[in-house]
Structure 1
Amino acid sequence: MSSSAIRDLAYIAVFAALIIVFAFVAIPVGAAGVPIVLQNAIIILTGLILGGKRGVAAALLFLLVGLIGLPVMAGGRQLLPALAGPTVGYIVGYVISPAVAGFLAYRPAASRSGRLVNLALGGAFGLITQYVCGAIGLMIVTSMSLNAAAAAQLPFILLDTVKICIMVAIASGVHAAFPALTRR
């Protein structure tokens, strides 16, 4: 196995571990009972830093660990019950969003500002991907209408946008410090 492949496997394992660790960062919000989580943003950060292929591999590894029965989902929940419930669409989005974010983030850029634009687009469209997949899952599992499923996303948009801005800043810093990450 080449040193490049070994390095890629290490990156994938580290980011899968980060995704799992940030599942346990859940801040309860009032009486609504829906916590603020960072896991969805870390999934996008994974794509922004590692690119699409390695980002998806990290997300799949995180889900594989969850299939074993370890609590890898937000709030320390297990994966199988989450797959059977209304969050299934978001979980599908967790696999697709790093591909989208990574594809856009890794587009060639002529300047540092161009790289930042690519990262911002990757973060935004990664988040949109999670919302679309989540809404589709809600429609299928709960028989919600399209309007109701879309409306269910509204309370999270502002905070998720802030989280993605932070992830873009982190990814930009990581790429500046480790430019070899993007040389493929």
Structure 2
Amino acid sequence: MERNIALIALFAALIAALGLVPAVMLPFGVPITAQSLGVMLCGTVLGARRGTLAVLLFLLLVFLGLPLLSGGKGGLGVIVGPTGGFVIGFPAAAFVAGLITERWRRGPVALSAGVAAAAGGAVLYAFGIIGMSLVLDKTPLQSALLVTAFIPGDAIKAVIAGLVTSALYRARPRAVLSRA
């Protein structure tokens, strides 16, 4: 129990730390950040339940006003901005990434975790597209076209999540709770 609480807090801190990595701004004002990598790692390493709890802890701190999101943003107001849908989608993305990693036991860990992270990213896109279409007053199709600019960066993040999860599993198999 205590180990689970410590890992949940540690991964919430990892998401916050990845928010310190400078964002790459796209021409239409939406940033590509490293925080979604932290969300995916929560799922692929901790599993669906614990990974979701880590993300929810992180979001609780953000909604309380701590400036933990990329760019030093925090507070409830972040959910009404153009990236609010992505923020709201963090827990669902971690859950899906964790669930896939837990259930897909065949083949290399890097492959299952990478695919799981990509699937979590797709869930994140679904939330992000809906949020952008509401906030920017665009159709979901227009928002989806805007979001396609993120695909190469998120594909790289999915590969990184797969490799990190695999390396951790090789070094300390019991530390990857999604595979325990």
Q: How many residues were matched structurally?
A: 178
Which position in structure 1 is the counterpart of 2:73?
77
Matches within 5 A, 1:1-184: 5-29=1-25, 33-111=29-107, 113=108, 115-180=109-174, 181-182=176-177, 184=180
Per the alignment, in what secondary structure is the counterpart of residue 19 of structure 2? helix
Q: Percent identity?
A: 33
CA deviations 1:5-30 (Å, max 9, x no partner) are 10000000000011111112124447
State the alpha-carbon separation in 2 of the partners of residues 162 and 79 from structure 1.
29
Q: CA deviation at 1:69?
A: 1.1
Give the CA RMSD over aligned residues. Answer: 1.8
Gapped regions of structure 1 (runs ≥ 5): none
Question: TM-score, length-normalised on structure 2?
Answer: 0.90
Gapped regions of structure 2 (runs ≥ 5): none
Q: CA deviation at 1:178?
A: 2.0
Higher Cα Rg, which structure:
1
State the alpha-carbon separation in 1 of the partners of residues 16 and 135 from structure 2.
25
Question: TM-score, length-normalised on structure 1?
Answer: 0.88
State the alpha-carbon separation in 2 of the partners of residues 167 and 117 from structure 1.
10
State the alpha-carbon separation in 2 of the partners of residues 72 and 27 from structure 1.
13
The letter for the 2-side match of 1:88 is: G
State the alpha-carbon separation in 1 of the partners of residues 60 and 159 from structure 2.
28
State the alpha-carbon separation in 2 of the partners of residues 133 and 90 from structure 1.
6
